[in-house]
Amino acid sequence: MKTATLKSRRRFLGGAAATMAGAMATLTGCGRNEVEAFLQHNFRELSKDELRQVVARLEQDAKRKYGKEVRIGTEPAQQGVVFGYALDLSRCIGCRRCAKACVKENNPSRDPQIEWIRVLQLNKDEGVDVSHADPYYNPEEVPQEGHFYMPVQCHQCRNAPCTKVCPVGATWQEPDGIVVVDYNWCIGCRYCMAACPYGARRFNWGEPAIKAEDINPVTHYLGNRPRPKGVVEKCTFCIQRTRKGLYPACVEICPTGSRKFGNLADPKSEIRYILENKRVFIFKEDLNTKPKFFYFYGV
């Protein structure tokens, strides 16, 4: 009942907004696109028609800015799928190919530089103790004697502290378990960054810059589409790939096979096998975030 009235109210506001957009464009002398962008509602409140218009406008904007045709998909979550991830700490060699492949796939700003995966170099005699972590290690060769490596990215928590604190509902968990951000609704308050115990969220401190040849044109609205300045972004398990049955870019590139990905809802999946049979470790388990990103020791 409550959602029904909310929806009808928003539909009314949405209709009013559409007529207002035209009037405001004439009055302020701004482009119609800018006014429409200003009045655009939260992704979860857009009707199919509105979403189509929004996507067309965003594709236009992206082309104008980057000089390249970008397709923005809106594929919904598949029924009966909850994505899970497991990373083998005993195999990871710290080569950072995952972090680079992620950048290539997900269109983060190159300058200022944004990377969603941070690989920590840890000391074997200290264990997983981040106070001894070095994310800026840069030796000739990896792995280094006496060290092991722990890549950290969004843990897609079931009990996500980041979505809880967002004052405007610009970030939420999708039915397939992926925590997403609506880059056109985020106000850039960065409360989610303060709330995340994994340091997984990134902010566009400046205007994102990517060369046309570096743009990945295959994108998703809730994932790797080009972002504006002043909003938060994060790993989405490559939503634009995984919702089509592909592996995330980091899984595909990993040369040691440390990265495992699959459907937690499928009892026969590899990810379920790992969780049931291997020694699994949950990072900052005491915080009760219930991640869908697990570490394990395969050997």
Interface contacts to other proteins, rule CB under 8 A: 13, 38, 41-42, 45, 112, 118, 120, 129-133, 135, 152, 161, 164-170, 185-191, 193-199, 201-207, 228-232, 287-288
HEC assignment per residue over 237-261: CCHHHHCCCCCCHHHHHCCCCCEEE
Q: What is the DSSP string of 93-152?
A: ----HHHHHHHHHH---TTTT--S-EEEEEETTT-S-GGG-BTT---SSSSPTTEEEEEE
Closer to other proteins by CB, 103 or 264: give it: 103
Residue 29 C-beta: closest distance to other proteins, Å: 16
Closer to other proteins by CB, 144 or 269: give it: 144
Residue 46 C-beta: closest distance to other proteins, Å: 12
Residue 237 C-beta: closest distance to other proteins, Å: 20
Residue 231 DSSP label: -
Residue 52 C-beta: closest distance to other proteins, Å: 21
Closer to other proteins by CB, 81 or 235: give it: 235
Residue 86 C-beta: closest distance to other proteins, Å: 19
d(CA 156, CA 122): 23
Residue 112 C-beta: closest distance to other proteins, Å: 6
Residue 273 C-beta: closest distance to other proteins, Å: 29
What residues have CB less than 8 Å from 198, skipping those under 6 apart? 152, 153, 154, 155, 283, 284, 291
* 288 CB neighbour count, 10 Å cutoff: 10
Closer to other proteins by CB, 76 or 206: give it: 206
Q: Dihedral (C-alpha) 118, 124, 125, 131: value to the nearest 10 degrees?
A: 0
Phi, psi angle pair for 70, to nearest 5°: -120, 130
d(CA 106, CA 109): 9
Closer to other proteins by CB, 16 or 246: give it: 16
Closer to other proteins by CB, 214 or 285: give it: 285
* 231 CB neighbour count, 10 Å cutoff: 20
Closer to other proteins by CB, 51 or 287: give it: 287
Residue 219 C-beta: closest distance to other proteins, Å: 21
Closer to other proteins by CB, 194 or 246: give it: 194
What residues have CB less than 8 Å from 153, skipping those under 6 apart? 102, 116, 117, 118, 198, 200, 235, 250, 293
Phi, psi angle pair for 131, to nearest 5°: -70, -10
